[in-house]
Amino acid sequence: MTKKLARVLIAAVFALPALALAQTGGADTLPAAPSAANSAASPATTAGTGNKLGTINIEQAIYGSNEGQRDFEALSKKLEPKQTELKSLNDEVESLKKQLSTQGDKLADDARANLVKQIEQKQKALERSVQDARDDAQNQQNEIAQRILQKMAPLIVKFAGDNAFGIIMDTSNPWPQGPVLWAGPSVDITKAMVDTYNLQSGVPAPTRPATASKPGGAATKPVAPAATKPQTATPAK
């Protein structure tokens, strides 16, 4: 999986105010997903005689499947209480910062220093909570994605063998980060694999749209926020 996953998937789950918790693109990454060949079947189970080249967007296939939409939507709901908790903590910090900004020059030195210390402590606690939330969400996201991919990979191998494909390349990561410079839609098997997987899994289509969607109708997964390093509160002069 790639860094693009974290950037394009559900950002709303932990969309806290940008002042303290702005989303960053490169912070969340997924571990390398097992290749179709390694996860699906040994070479002996496929003919390997095809010579066509095909492409698949593994990300869209996973998150566009009925199972992916169902499970990532459920995870989004599961994470909502943590979103509310972090929002509350962030609001508390921002309120104290506003108090320092508007009243700092009117406070006694001891009171002002105590307020500054309080802001710094609460900000650090908030950052730790955000980091823990991100790590927990990322782990749960990975578990869902890997589980679906492990079941989808054999279907990709079988589809390739049945349709005389000699190679299937993943286009989830665009060139130059990915290996495919350009590929026409005629060689893309993403939709075919989503349809095949949906049929085999038996999971019905969602009764309502997912919270957010990727281009092409693929569901997206929740993403935890990245905390930005705040400016240290300083006593007003």
Question: For residue range 37-50, what is the model confidence (pLDDT) as tens digits?
Answer: 344 444 334 455 67
Is 78 part of any domain? yes
pLDDT per position as a tens digit, 139-182: 999 999 999 999 999 999 999 999 999 999 999 999 998 889 89
Report the C-alpha gap between 196 and 176 in whole angstroms: 30
Cα four-point dihedral sign 194, 23, 33, 140:
negative
Is 150 part of any domain? yes
Is 37 part of any domain? no
How many beta carbons lie within 10 A of that of residue 212, not counting itself?
19
pLDDT per position as a tens digit, 52-83: 999 999 999 999 999 999 999 999 999 999 99
Domain range for 180: 51-201
Is 158 part of any domain? yes
Report the C-alpha gap between 120 and 48 in whole angstroms: 61
The secondary structure of residue 177, as a DSSP letter, is: T
**Whether residue 176 has a cis bond before it, omega within 30° of 0:** yes
pTM over the 0.75 mark: no
- Residues of the chain with pLDDT > 90, as a percent, come to 55
Is 30 part of any domain? no
